[in-house]
Structure 1
Amino acid sequence: VIADLSGCPSPVHTDVCHHEGFSSKYSSISGVCNNRQKPLWGSANNVLARWLPAEYEDRESQPKGWNSGQLYNGFQLPPVQEVSKKILQSSIKSVTLDDIYSQMLVDWGQYIDHDISFTPQSTSRVAFSGGLDCLKTCEYINPCFPIETVSHDQLSGNRSCVPFFRSSPACFSGNAQATTADIKPALQRQQMNSITSFLDASTVYGHTPNLQSALRDLSSSEGKLAVNSRFMDQRGRSYLPFVLKTPSPCFQDSNHRQGDRVDCFLAGDSRVNEVLPLVALHTLWVREHNRIAEALHDLNPHWSSEIIYQEARKIIGALHQIITTRDYVPKVIGREAFDRYIGPYGGYDPTINPSVSNVFATAAFRFGHATISSVLRRLNESFQEHEQFSSLSLHKTFFSPWRLVKEGGLEPILRGLLGTPAAVVNPDNLLTKELTGRLVTLNVPGDLDLAALNLQRGRDHGLPGYNDWRQFCGLERIWNRDDFRQVANDESVAEKIMDLYKHPDNIDIWLGGLVEEPLPGSRTGPLFSCLIGKQVAMLRDGDRFWWESEGVFTERQRMELQTHSLSCVICDNSEINEAPLDPFVFGRYPDGFRLCSNIPSMSLEAWREEPHPGTLRLFSRLCGVFRNLVVQQMITAR
C-alpha cells in the first residue's frame, strides 16, 4: 500500500527471477534480475550506490550550502558561481590539443556515460511548500536549489540567481534484515539512476518495456529497429525516428518551411539531441543493429523476429562493452591504473553490486567536461574543412538535429571526430566558454554554466569532500597548500582554490579531481583514475550477461566479437571509406588511416544455427499444407 501511494515500486522477490521470462539467455530491458539474488542491483530506477555516506547539513537531506552561515572547518563554502568564474572558466582563447587522441575519445565518453547513468531532476516545477515557481524564486525550498549569481543587494535585499532543480529522491530500498546501524544512512536522501547501470546499449534499446516497443519496428520480420519515415540521407541510409509527441522543442533551421520540419529524434536515451556528435553516434548504432539483424535473418531464416532482435541486441551490447573497456577506458585512466583496479576478467561474481555509484555519476565521470571543444569541426572526404558545411561553435550544435538531416548527414561530423585532436585538460582553460556561458537546456530558459551546475549537483547529492575521497582510494590526504600544489597540475590554480575554499577538506570533489596532475599515459589524475577504475570493474564483474561471462557467447563468437571495432561500425554504416584502426587515436590524414576494406571485422557466420530436425519437419508439413491450399484455389477458380 505504501509503495502504491508513494509511487515507488514494490520490492522484487528473488522467486520472480527464476521465472522463465527472467532465466533466459537475454537480459531484461530494465536490468531487473541480472543478479537473481539481488534483483534490483544495476536495474533502472534504482538508487545510486553510496561508496561513502552522504554529508547533508541536517544529516538527512539538506544540500551543502543550504543554510546561510553554515561553517565547514571554520569557513563557509564558496558559492559555486564564484568558483566557476575564478577557477573553471577559460581565461585564454587558445586550447591545448592532444597529440595522441582524437575528438572521438571525448564524444564516446559522453555517449557511454548516457548508457550507464542518468539522474533525473525533480518532476515538480514548484516548491513543495508555498507553491513558489522554481524558475522565478531565489529561495531554497525543495525542490528549488537556485545558484546565486551575485551578492545580496544591501539596499533592496534582492539577489540574482539561476534556477536549479534538485535531483529526484530515490525510493527507500531497505529490507527486513536491516540492522539498527543501517537505518539512519538508509533513511538519508538518496538519488536514483533512472536507466540501467549495465553497459548494455540502453542508449539504443531503452530501459523500459514501453520505450523498447516504441523503438522497434514491430512489423519487421527481421527484428529491426524503427527508423525515420520522412527523411533519409542521399544514399538512402536511415535516420532515427522522431519523438512520439510533436511538435517538439528542438531548434529549427531559420529558413525551414512547413513540411520540412525536423523534430527531436527518439532513441534509447532521452539526451540524444543534446549535441550533434551524440545524434550521430546514436544513429550509427541503430543502423548497425539493423545491418546485423538483416544478416542474421539471412543466416537463420527459421529464426523468429523476436530471436533475431534479441540476438542482435546481445551483439550490440557486447560491442559497447568491448569498445569501452578495451579501447576507451585504458586511455582515460592509464594502463597502470587499469591493471590495478580492473585487471583481467575472472568471471561473473554475484556478490558484486554493479550499480553506478553516486560519486562516479556526479563527479568522477564528469572529468570529460573539461575536454569538450568549443568547436565541432565538419570535414570533407579529404578530412579538410568541409566546403559546404563549415565547422560550428558548440552552442550551435545544441538540440539541433535538423543540421544532421539538412547539412550533409553523419559523414562530416564523424570525420570531424576522427580527424580532430581532442582537447587536453588545462588548468588555465578547464571549461570552454561555450559551456560556462552559452549552455542551453530545454527546461530552463537562458544560458547556463555547466561548471556551476556540476558543483551544485555534487552539493545537492551531499557528496563528501575531495580529501575524503582521496582517503577512500588509499591516497594521502591533503593537509595544506604545499600538499595541494604537489598534486595539482598547476601551482597558481592550486593557490586560487585554496584562497576560495580556505581548507583542503572543503574542496568539492569534482574540482579537486579535475585539477590533479594526470597519471602517465592517462587523461585523469590518481583520484579519478581510481574511482573510474573501480566503477568499471564493478560494471564488468557484477554483470551476469557480460560478453566474456560463461555461456553468454560461444568461444567462436567471442573471437569474432573481438575483431570488431568502432571503426568497423563507422565503415559499415556510413559513406566513410577510410578510418584509423583505432578511432580514438589521432592521426593527420592520411597517416594512420586505412581503407575500410582493410580494417578487420567480425564474421556473423559464428551465429549460423542449423534448425532442429523437428523444426524442418514442421516447416516441410506447413509448406505441403500451403501447396495443397494453392492447388485447391486454382481448381476452384477454374
Structure 2
Amino acid sequence: MHSQATTKTIALACGALGLSCLLFGCGGSDLANAAAALDGSTAAAATETIAARGQQPPPPPGPGPGPGPGTGPGAFEARQIDGTANHNGDLGSAGTQLLRRVAAAYTDGISSPAGANRPSAREVSNAVVAQTGEMADPSGRTAFVWAWGQFVDHDIDLTPEGGVEDFPIAIPTGDPYFDPTGSGTVVMSLSRSVYDAATGLAAGNPRQQLNQITAFLDGSQVYGSDQERALALRTLSDGMLATSAGDLPPFNTVGLPNASAGDPSSFFLCGDIRANENIALTSLHTLFLREHNRKAAEIKAANPGLSDEEIYQRARKHVGALIQVITYQEFLPALLGDHPLPDYRGYQPNVNPQIANTFSTAAYRLGHSQVGTTVLRLGPDGNPISQGNLAIKDAFFQPQLLVNEGGIDPLLKGLAATTQQPTDAMVVDDLRNFLFGPPGSGGLDLASLNMQRGRDHGLGSYNQVRAAYGRPPARNFNEITSDAALQAKLASVYSNVNQVDAWVGLLSEDHAPGAAVGPTLKTILVDQFTRMRDGDRFFYRNDPALRDQLQELEATHLADVIARNTTVRGLQANVFRGGRAQTGPRPAPRVDRRGGMPRVCF
C-alpha cells in the first residue's frame, strides 16, 4: 500500500453517491456516507413541509396479529412503512443486518477484508471482464430486464458506505485508462460499508453489514422506508402523491437525503434515494407514481367518504401488489426460465425474508453485464426522437432530460425495443473504463468495484459460495465454464480455482437450461425471491384485502401499466422479451462543461 504522499487516488465528486450502484445488481449501493439514515434535520424538514400545508400528518397504520393481515376476508391492514410488524422479530425491517447464507470469510476471521491473497480487482477486470463492441442476448431479452431489476433492487436493499475506512483498489502500473504514465502509484478509492457496531468484535462474531431499507418487495422505492420521507412524498389530499410539472416526481425542495450531486432541489425526490441514478430507472419511478395517483383517483370516485389516509393506503397496497405480480410473473421467468420458484403455499412465519449478503453484494449485481452502450429514446413511429438516443454514460443523474426531452414515454418504448447484452462475465467499456476527461484524469471500473465490495463484506470465494448453496466446488476452471477462452482468462490472473471472486465466478458459469444465468447464480436468486415471498405476511396472495382483486392483478402486465399511464402504444404483451439488437452509430457523448468533475458518476 502506498502512502498518501505518493499515491494518486481516483476519486469521484459524487456528493452522497458512492461507486457501484448505477445499475441493476448494485445491491449495496455504495454511498459515500450513510445518507439513508435520516437525522433530526431530515425529520424537521418533513415536518415543516406538512405544517406548511396546514395539515396534521396521519398516524401510522396499526399492526395486526395472525398468519395474514387483518382478521378475515376483505379485512384491511396496511404495511408499516419501515417493514416492522410484518415478520417475527421484525426480520426484514429497515436497519437490520444482511443475512449470511455463506460463512463470513474475513482474512482475520473478524473484519479484515477477504481476498488478501487474490490479485487486484482491476487486474482481474482487465484480464477477464473487458468487452469491446455490442452483443445481443440470444433469447431476445430486453433492456427492461436490467431496468426492472434495478427498480426491484432499490425496493429491497441499500447498504451505504461508512466513509471512515478506506479500502482502495490498486491500479496496475501502466493501466492505459487509469495510469497511462506508468507511475505505479494510482489507486481507485472505496470506503467500506456501514455495519452493525455490535459485530466484528471476535472470531465468533464477525462484522455484519446493514440493510438500511425494508427487505420486502413492498414498493418502498415509491413510498420510502421511513415515515419522514413517506410524508414528504404525499400531498395529504385525496390519497395522492406529489408531482411536478409534466406529471413527473416532485423535486427535492425539502432537503431530504438523496444520492445526487449539486443542488438537491434540481433532482427528483422519490421513495428511494437512488431514483436519479439513470433516466431509465427514474422513468419507472415516475410510472408507478402515476399508477398510484391513477388508482387513488379511482378509489376516491368509488368511495367518496374515505379519508386521505384510507385512499393512500389502498392505492399503496395496489401498487405494491402490482410490483410483486410483475416481478414474479414476468421478470423472474424472463431471467430464470419458466416457473423458476416452488409453488406458493402461503405465509411461512419460520422463513427468514432478509436479504442475503451474497445476493446483494455479488449475485444480484449481474445486471452490470446486461447493459449496453446506448439508451434508445423512441417516438410513436418507432424512430429516435428529435433529441436522439443517448450514450449510456450520459444517462446518469440527468433528471432535466425527462423535463426537457420528451418525458418518460420515449425511454419506456426504447427499453422494450432494445435487446440487452448477454448475462456473462463481460461488461461494456463504458462501465468498465468510465472516465471524467482524458486518460488518467479519474473515473471508475464498475467490475472492479463489485469485486472489491465483495471482499469488503467478507464474502467467500466463488467455490465457497457454490458449496454453501449445495453444489460441489469446482476443481478446475473448466468446471466453471466450458468456454476455453474464458477458462484461459481466469487462469491468467487467479493462481487456482479457489481464488476466484464470487461475482466473477457466478457470471462465468454456463447458463442453466432456459435461464440467462448459471446454476449457482440461479440457486441464489431462487432462494432469495422465495424467502422474500414466503416470509412476507403481506404478500399479495396472502392478503385478505386483495382477495377479490387477485384475478385483475394477475392479469396485469407491465405493458398494461405503461399503456394506462403514458401515451405509449403498441408494445409487446411481455416487455421483458422480444427486443431488437442495437444497430447503427452510437450517439456522440455529451460534454459536461460545468467545471470540475461531471455530476454523473457511478
Aligned to 2:220: 202
Change (3 A) 1:249 1:530: closer
Which residue of the other structure, out of 402, 405, 423, is the alignment partner of 1:404? 402
The alpha-carbon deviation at position 157 of structure 1 amounts to: 10
Whole-angstrom distance in 1 between the partners of 2:522 and 2:199: 30
Q: Provide the secondary structure at the position in 2 that maps to 1:468.
A: helix
Shift of 1:261: 11
2:251 corresponding residue in structure 1: 241
**What residue number does 2:566 align with?**
574
Which stretch shows the higher mean deviation, 242-251 or 556-565? 242-251
Asked if 1:315 corresponds to 2:296, the answer is no
CA 1:243 to 1:189, structure 2 compared with 1: closer, same or farther past 3 Å? farther
> What is aligned with 1:44?
94
How many Å apart are 1:383 and its aligned residue?
1.5
Deviation at 1:243, TM superposition (A): 4.8
1:446/1:211 CA distance change after superposition, 3 Å: farther
After superposition, the C-alpha distances for 1:77-101 in whole angstroms (9 at most, x for unaligned) are 11001011111121x3232344422
Aligned equivalent of 2:276: 273
Seen in structure 2, the aligned counterparts of structure 1 residues 486 and 398 have a Cα distance that, compared at 3 Å, is: same
One-letter amino acid matched to 2:193? S
Cα separation, 2, equivalents of 1:564 and 1:404: 26
> In the alignment, which residue of structure 2 is the partner of 1:374?
373
CA distance in 2, matches of 1:263, 1:512: 40
Matched, 1:466 2:506: no
Selected match of 1:57 from 99, 107, 125? 107
> In 2, Cα distance between the equivalents of 1:227 and 1:561?
25
Q: What is aligned with 1:612?
A: none
- Checking the alignment, whether the CA contact within 8 Å between 1:106 and 1:372 is kept in structure 2 is yes
Alignment partners' CA distance in 2, 1:357 and 1:308 = 34
**Aligned equivalent of 2:242, options 206, 219, 226:** 226
Tell me, yes or no, if the aligned pair for 1:348 and 1:544 is still in contact at 8 Å: yes
Counterpart of 1:16? none
Q: Give the equivalent residue in structure 1 for 2:419.
A: 421
> 2:550, 2:322 → 1: CA distance?
10
**Matched letter for residue 241 of structure 2:** L
Matches within 5 A, 1:282-293: 282-293=285-296
Q: CA deviation at 1:27?
A: 1.0
Q: Deviations over 1:115-135 (max 9, x none)?
A: 11111111x3xx4xxxxxxxx
Relative distance call for 1:588 and 1:435 in structure 2 (3 A) is closer
What is the rounded CA distance, in whole Å, between the counterparts of 2:337 and 2:256 in structure 1? 45
Measure how far apart 1:491 and its partner are. Answer: 1.4
Shift of the alpha carbon at 1:343? 1.3
Q: For residues 257-268 of structure 1, what are the structure 2 equivalents within 5 Å?
A: 263-268=266-271
Q: How many residues align?
A: 504
Q: Structure 1: how far apart are the matches of 2:429 and 2:192?
A: 24
Q: Residue 185 and residue 294 in structure 1: after superposition, are their counterparts in 2 closer, same or farther (change >3 A)?
A: farther
Partner of 1:344 in structure 2?
343
Change in Cα spacing, 1:167 to 1:532, as seen in structure 2 (3 Å) is same
Give the partner amino acid of 1:454. Answer: N
Note closer, same or farther for the CA distance 1:103–1:29 as it changes in structure 2 (3 Å cut).
same
Amino acid at match of 2:302: L
Closer/same/farther in 2, CA of residues 419 and 294 from structure 1, 3 Å limit: same
Q: Which amino acid aligns with 1:487?
A: I
Kindly indicate whether the alpha-carbon contact (under 8 Å) linking 1:96 and 1:426 is maintained by their aligned counterparts in 2: no
Q: CA deviation at 1:588?
A: 6.2
Task: Tell me, in whole angstroms, the C-alpha distance in 2 between the residues paired with 1:314 and 1:553.
Answer: 8
Deviations 1:50-90 (A, max 9, x none): 0122111111101024xxxx5xxxxx311001011111121
Q: How does 1:376-391 map to 2 (within 5 A)?
A: 376-386=375-385, 388-391=386-389
Deviation at 1:384, TM superposition (A): 2.1
Give the aligned residue type for 1:223.
G
Q: Which residue of 1 aligns with 2:16?
A: none
User: Quick check: 1:301 aligned with 2:311?
Assistant: no
- Offset, 1:238: 3.8
1:102 is aligned to 142
Aligned equivalents of 1:206, 1:251: Cα separation in 2: 20
Asked whether the 8 Å contact 1:60–1:188 carries over to 2, the reply is yes
Partners of 2:170 and 2:186 within 8 A in 1: yes
Question: CA contact under 8 A between 1:394 and 1:434: conserved in structure 2?
Answer: yes
Contact 2:141–2:576 at 8 Å: present in 1 too?
yes
Change (3 A) 1:168 1:162: same
- Structure 1 residues 580-619: Cα deviation after superposition (integer angstroms, max 9, x where no partner): 1111111569xxxxxxxxxxxxxxxxxxxxxxxxxxxxxx
State the superposition RMSD in angstroms: 2.8
Asked whether 1:33 is paired with 2:89, we answer no
Cα deviation code 1:103-147 (max 9, x no counterpart): 11121111111111111111x3xx4xxxxxxxxxxxxxxx10011
Q: Which residue of 2 aligns with 1:547?
A: 540
SS in 1 for 2:144: helix
Query: Would you say the 8 A contact 1:53–1:185 is kept in 2?
Result: no
Deviation at 1:451, TM superposition (A): 0.3
TM-score by length of 1: 0.75
Deviation for aligned residue 1:460: 0.2
Structure 1 residues 446 and 567, CA, compared in 2 at 3 Å: closer, same or farther? same
| Deviation at residue 366 of structure 1 after TM alignment | 0.7
Q: What secondary structure is seen at the aligned counterpart in 2 of 1:161?
A: strand
CA distance in 2, matches of 1:61, 1:538: 27
1 or 2, which has the higher helix percentage? 1
Residues 484-524 of structure 1, C-alpha deviations (whole Å, 9 max, x = no match): 22431521111221231111111111000001111121110
The answer for the alignment partner of 2:74 in structure 1 is none
* Whole-Å separation in 2 of the counterparts to 1:246 and 1:206: 12
Equivalences for 1:575-594 in 2 at 5 Å?
A: 575-586=567-578
Q: Which amino acid aligns with 1:110?
A: Q
Give, in whole Å, the separation in 1 of the partners of 2:172 and 2:140. 41
Identify if the C-alpha distance between structure 1 residues 382 and 413 changes in structure 2 by more than 3 Å, giving closer, same or farther. same
Q: Are the counterparts in 2 of residues 439 and 449 from structure 1 also a CA contact under 8 Å?
A: no
Q: State the alpha-carbon separation in 2 of the partners of residues 363 and 251 from structure 1.
A: 26
* 1:85 maps to amino acid: N
Read off the aligned partner of 1:382 and give its amino acid letter: D
- Code of the residue aligned with 1:314 in structure 2: it is K
1:95–1:423 CA contact under 8 A, matched in 2 = yes
- The residue aligned with 1:496 is 489
Q: Distance in 2 between matches of 1:325 and 1:185?
A: 39
Instruction: Please say which of residues 541-550 and 95-104 is displaced more in the overlay.
Output: 95-104
Higher relative contact order (CA 8 A, sep 6+): 2
**Residue equivalent to 2:335:** 332
Return closer, same or farther for 1:519/1:392 CA change in 2, 3 Å cut-off.
same
* TM-superposition CA deviations, 1:232-266 (whole Å, max 9, x none): 2xxxx3444335239999689xxxxxxx9981111
Partner of 1:600: none
Closer, same or farther: CA 247–307 of 1 in aligned 2, 3 Å: closer
**Residue 93 (str. 1) matches residue 133 (str. 2):** yes
Superposed displacement of residue 187, structure 1? 2.3
Identical pairs, percent: 35
Give the SS at the match of 2:540. Answer: coil
Matched, 1:119 2:159: yes
Aligned-pair CA distance for 1:184: 5.3
C-alpha contact 1:354 1:543 (8 A) present in aligned 2: yes
Structure 1 Cα separation of the partners of residues 38 and 272 of structure 2: 22
Which whole-Å CA distance do the structure 2 matches of 1:261 and 1:115 have between them?
A: 22
Q: Structure 1 CA distance, aligned partners of 2:381 and 2:265?
A: 29
Q: How far apart are 1:170 and its partner, in Å?
A: 2.1
Distance 1:213 1:249, change over 3 A: closer
Is there any run of 5+ residues in structure 1 with no aligned partner, and where?
1-6, 10-18, 71-75, 128-142, 175-182, 253-259, 590-638
- 2:172 aligns with 150
